[in-house]
Structure 1
Amino acid sequence: MVGLSEVRKSNSVLHSRDGDFVAVFVGGTSGIGEATAKELAKVVKKPTIHLVGRNEASGSRILEELKAANPEGTFHFIQSDVSLIKNVDQACSEIKQKEKAIDLLFLSTGHLATSKKDTSEGLENNHALRYYSRMRFVHNLLPLLSASKTPARVVTVLAGGQEGKIEEDNLDLQKSWSFMKAASYAATMNSLAVEHLAAQYPTISFAHVFPGVVRTPLMNTSFGSIAGSIVGFLSRPMSLSLQESGQRNVFISTSAAYPPAAPEDPTSIGVPLVDGLKATVASTGKVGGGSYILNYDGANNANEKLMNGYREQGFPKKVWDHTLAIFSKALGSTQ
């Protein structure tokens, strides 16, 4: 566990660093994504932040708040329903027109769907948000991430450490769906994809994070204002504020505690470790191995036995091959 004082100390170092820092937040117009973008804007001297989200009014409001917090920063909003892969491609195209490199890709889309609903591209809506569209952003932006001098980091916030059993013939949840199965499949596939990508792109760090219970609007939007308020009230003693969640996510997104497997410059792998902190064990069991399954407090949260079993069966590559096939099917092409 990384204490909050260490988190804040590490984050404060960011302001003294020169050079550009470009971040993309997908799901950045509410909750954890919004909170993390705001904390990053406070601690980076001259950030460039791209927010991708559905709600244009929220996006405009957050842009104004970011500008007020850091007048030296550059902030953009891209309005997009990223449950559709074609919309992800359009959003990525807009980002590529503005940037040559990306230092952070932060992914936090999704909601708590209580019933199955497919998109016009034939994907289960919440599975598209929690897995496929996230990985499409990664896939499309890998050239810009690889061009980062920081080096780059991909952080997908969902349910790191909450993996479970998945079946190879049901990865898209079309054969069998349930609320619990959808949650488990999304968590497991994020972790397996992160591990595969870290091996294929060893100069980039990849992290799958369980955010803990955070006081966000998610419960209200998922279950309604009354039920959501009750759940929120009962969970408050064990929950994190949005500010603390944002600060912890900035730490995970920038600290040298989570280096890539093979950095081009081993002396430049993130904010130098403070107060005796060490590089974290990756999902493969290797210290500093590039793929991290983390608890909200930055500690290793990998289920080593489960991940070893999937690794022995070749599931990291199987999941990624499936993902590429789904992209082609959704877009009606061979992309």
Structure 2
Amino acid sequence: MVSISEVRASNARITQETVPHTAVFTGATDGIGKATLTRLLSAKLPVRVYLIGRNGDKQKAYLDTLRQSNKQAQIIWLEGQLSLLAETRRLCDEIKTRETCLDALYMSAGFISSGERIETSEGNGLSQSLTYYSRIMMMTQLLPLLNASPNNPRIISILNAGNESSSIYLDDFDLKQPGHFGLATLAKSLSTYTTLSMSRLASENPRVVFVHHYPGGVNTDLFKKVWGGKWYWPLFSPALSMLATSPQDAAEKVLYLITSAKYGGRGVSLAVGQSPGLTMAKTKTAGSLFAINDKMKELQ
């Protein structure tokens, strides 16, 4: 387990050698992703970031702010709909035409259903497509670039490490059958799919550090967008404000996951008294998945 003070101290020691030189961010136009990208750029180091999202015209002010915050950074906006796998592949192809290697792939794009199953035009569940199918496609498509990186390559997926379950519908992964779709079922299914898939990819790509992270309750606008109109929102909102982590603290933790030598042995060196993190296979090096909960504790 790592304290927030230890996290901040490590992040303050990020250098040009330990920062990801080239990174891809999804889910970074809002919430934890936005706070993480903002925090990364605040280090004032030369980085190139591909920021993927929708509605580029609406994001112009945000992009301008990012670029002004770090004159050494190059922010490349790629517009696309990550809920569609054809679009996800197109975006990955675009990145592969521009880059020969990649240091970091950060993913937190997602959708919280208010209870009903919504399908994309490709026939997949919207939540499953954004949170699992699209992310796995990005990993597999961009792994050649990550494997080519000399700079501590990492994949960070922000979801729900620790909520895996053996009680999933093996004959209905997309939860299409009547009575299968629900928030609890969706959460444990996506967590399980993610951990199993990332574990397999980690074993096949030992040069790349894979991290599945559960950030806990974070006080972003996501919950308000989904449940703001519900009768219980006036009761839930104050509790969220009091108990949830701020996006800024969540971002510090994510930046630590991206840069610290605690995970895989390369990156910002550990402080005196700190020990290397353990993967789910109880190893200290890459080749297995690091599953990290909201207390920054490694899960086995």
TM-score (norm 2): 0.92
| Consecutive unaligned residues in structure 1, runs of 5 or more | 260-265, 305-335
Q: Deviations over 1:258-289 (max 9, x none)?
A: 11xxxxxx6xx111112422211211232335
Q: Deviations over 1:214-248 (max 9, x none)?
A: 11111111112565464232122221111111111
Counterpart of 2:105, as a letter, is L
Q: Which residue of 2 aligns with 1:80?
A: 80
Q: Which moved more, 1:172-181 or 1:27-36?
A: 172-181
Q: Which residue of 1 aligns with 2:218?
A: 214
Q: Which residue of 2 aligns with 1:53?
A: 53
CA contact (8 A) 1:107 1:155 kept: yes
1:95-244 residue pairs with structure 2 within 5 A? 95-113=95-113, 114-164=115-165, 165-175=167-177, 176-225=180-229, 227-228=232-233, 230-244=235-249
Indicate the SS of the match to 1:28: coil
Q: Which residue of 1 aligns with 2:285?
A: 288
Indicate the SS of the match to 2:15: helix
Distance in 2 between the 1:106 and 1:20 partners? 11
Q: Which residue of 2 aligns with 1:30?
A: 30
Indicate the SS of the match to 2:13: helix
CA contact (8 A) 2:117 2:125 kept: yes
Higher-RCO chain (CA-CA 8 Å, sequence separation at least 6): 2
1:254 aligns with 2:259: yes
Distance in 2 between the 1:179 and 1:287 partners? 34
CA contact (8 A) 1:29 1:55 kept: no
Q: Which residue of 1 aligns with 2:4?
A: 4
More helix by share: 1
Q: Deviations over 1:40-87 (max 9, x none)?
A: 111251011111112324532222121121111000111211100001
CA contact (8 A) 1:219 1:228 kept: no
Counterpart of 2:171, as a letter, is D
Q: Residues 228, 24 of structure 1: CA spacing in aligned structure 2 closer, same or farther, 3 A cutoff?
A: farther
Q: Residues 201, 84 of structure 1: CA spacing in aligned structure 2 closer, same or farther, 3 A cutoff?
A: same
Q: Which residue of 2 aligns with 1:67?
A: 67
Q: Which residue of 2 aligns with 1:328?
A: none
Indicate the SS of the match to 1:207: strand
Distance in 1 between the 2:222 and 2:19 partners? 35
Distance in 2 between the 1:213 and 1:61 partners? 28
Alpha-carbon RMSD across the aligned residues, in angstroms, is 1.9
Q: Which residue of 2 aligns with 1:298?
A: 296
Aligned residues between the structures: 294
Q: Deviations over 1:1-29 (max 9, x none)?
A: 21222112211222353786111111111
Q: Residues 19, 154 of structure 1: CA spacing in aligned structure 2 closer, same or farther, 3 A cutoff?
A: closer
